[in-house]
Structures are given as C-alpha cells and as structure tokens.
Amino acid sequence: MPKLDPFLLSLIAAIGLATILPCHGLGATVLAHLTTLCIAIMFFLQGARLQPQAVLESVRDWRLQGSVLACTFLLFPLLGLALRALFPHLLTPDMWQGLLFLCCLPSTVQSSIALTSIARGNVPASICAATLSNLAGIVLTPVLVGMIIRRGGVWSGQAVIDIATQLLLPFGLGQILHRRLGDWARRNRKLLSLTDRGSIVLVVYTAFSHAVFQGLWHSISLPDLALTAGLDLALLVLVLFLSRLLGRISGFSEESAISLMLCGSKKSLATGVPMANILFPASIVGTVVLPLMIYHQIQLFLCTLLARHLARRPERP
C-alpha cells in the first residue's frame, strides 16, 4: 500500500510549528523576503533543468497534448465551479477559494511521469505533457485565478511585477543558462529536489504563521477539513473518469490514454504554494493552500493504486 509522502509529513510539521511558534514582527518580515528569494531560485533551477528541446517536442502530438491541457486548465475549473454551485455553503469562502485555486494549477512533473511508467503508459508523452503544462501554468494559472476567483483583482500592478520577477524572469534566465548548468542540475537532481521542497516548506510555514495570527484554527474545524478531503476526492474521481472517457472517444492508444488520465488529473503542489504566496493576501494564503495539500496526498495514494492495477493488464501482441 502507498505510504505517506515524506514531503507531506514535512509540510504538516511546518503547519504544526507555525501553530505553536508562529513568526511575527521582524522575523516575519525577514522570512517574507527569504521566501521571495527561495521562490525565485526554485524557478531559476527549474528553467536550468528543463531542456529547451523538450518544449518543442511537446507539441508534436497536438491532440494528446491539447487534451491534457484541456483537462488541466478547462475541465478542472468547470468541475470546481460546478461543485461550488451545488454546495455553496459546504465550505468557508476561503476554503472554496483554495479548492478553485487548486483547479487552476498545472500538472505535476515527477509523479505524472513516475505513475505513467508504473502503469506502462506512454512515458515520452507524459514527459512532454507535464513539461508543457508547467510552462503554460506560469501564465494560465494567474489568468484563471483572476477570472474565476479574484474577479480580475489578481492582475494588480504589484501582482504582475511579482509574477514577472519571481517566476518568469528566473525561469527565463535558467533556460538561457541551460547549456552551462543543465548537466550539473541533472547530476544533482536529488539535492536540488531537497532544496525545492525546503523552499516550499518555508513558504508554508510563513503562510500559516500569518494565518494563525488571523485566527485560522478558530475559523476552520476538523469537519471542515473532512469535507474538503471529500470534495478533493470527488474532484479527482470525476477527472479520472472523464479523462479516461475522453481518451477512448478520441481514439488514443491504451498507452496514450493512460498518459492523458494520469497527467490530466494531477495538480502541482510545488507550483501551487509559491503561486498562492504571490496571488493571495498573506492573511489567507494558509487557508487557500489547505485543499491543495490534502489533494496532493489523495492523488498520490489513489493514482498509485490505479497505476498498479493498470500495470497488470495483459500485454498486447
């Protein structure tokens, strides 16, 4: 059976520390500047690791790649809006913002590729789809958040500057320096993964420190968390079913249909936490990322079981 993700355990520990010992005053100001720097470094290293050729290769099978993008950036937001319309009072307004924010995020990279490999799917297509999804998400996620959550408020002058300086510019510099740093980044992938995750843990601690001072745990109860987990699970199951159906209707091979289902149903915690830190006020960032953190563990657990089940299918002649 799948185990709890150590990364998730470290995030839970950060939330616990922020609850018991939240940062404030000068410490909060210093951590805010440090998290900004960590986010920029993280996107710079992502740009350095990504081969520019992978971006070009990702558009070859335009039907499959377009289907993954449609599931990620169209199907998810529509389902999220439908759930909120059906159950408007089931969650607090901030938690609903978090669920809709989750629907606007790009797919994961590592877990999408790993699960596709386990399920004997189209691994090259998953590599391309995950790459293209994350590149598109840098632009599409803020646009979707502005359209369906913040009603255009996300595109304030400061938000545009933050997205450009903390995300786009570092990523572009990483791409420019790929020839010099790409081999080094790939050789030290495990080390850089630890630094990426450490940055996210720091962002989560800072965000939840703000939220605790705003009375987070007085406004959110255990039943609220349970309801959020139930909605996350319903969202994941719906997307898995509909993406599987789309693969069959589109006439994709079994391997490509698996790639569509496993890539199109994922949401990136690594991208989501820094994005939330930029796009939402500090007072609600902690609440907004809670549905994403819960969804992260559910998607790993359920999709690992699904991938192992698909791996046992008979070999085709």
pLDDT tens by residue, 90-140: 998 889 999 999 999 999 877 788 788 888 888 778 877 887 888 888 888
C-beta pairs of 90-94 under 8 Å, 24+ apart in sequence: 90/227, 90/231, 91/224, 91/227, 91/228, 91/231, 92/219, 92/220, 92/224, 92/287, 94/219, 94/284, 94/287, 94/288
134 or 5, greater pLDDT? 134
Residue 280 confidence class, pLDDT cut points 50, 70, 90: confident
* Degrees, nearest 5: CA angle 282-200-91: 50
- Could you count the other beta carbons within 10 Å of the beta carbon of residue 37? 11
What is the model's pLDDT at position 1? 44
CATH code given to domain 6-309: 1.20.1530.20
Quote the CA–CA distance of 305 and 16 in Å, as a whole number.
29
In this prediction, what percent of the chain has a pLDDT beyond 90? 24
pLDDT tens by residue, 66-104: 999 999 999 999 999 999 999 999 998 889 999 999 999
Both tokens assigned to 130: 């995950």
Window from 223-227, 270-274, 295-299, 313-317 with minimum mean pLDDT: 313-317
φ, ψ for residue 214, nearest 5 deg: -90, 5
Both tokens assigned to 64: 């499959």
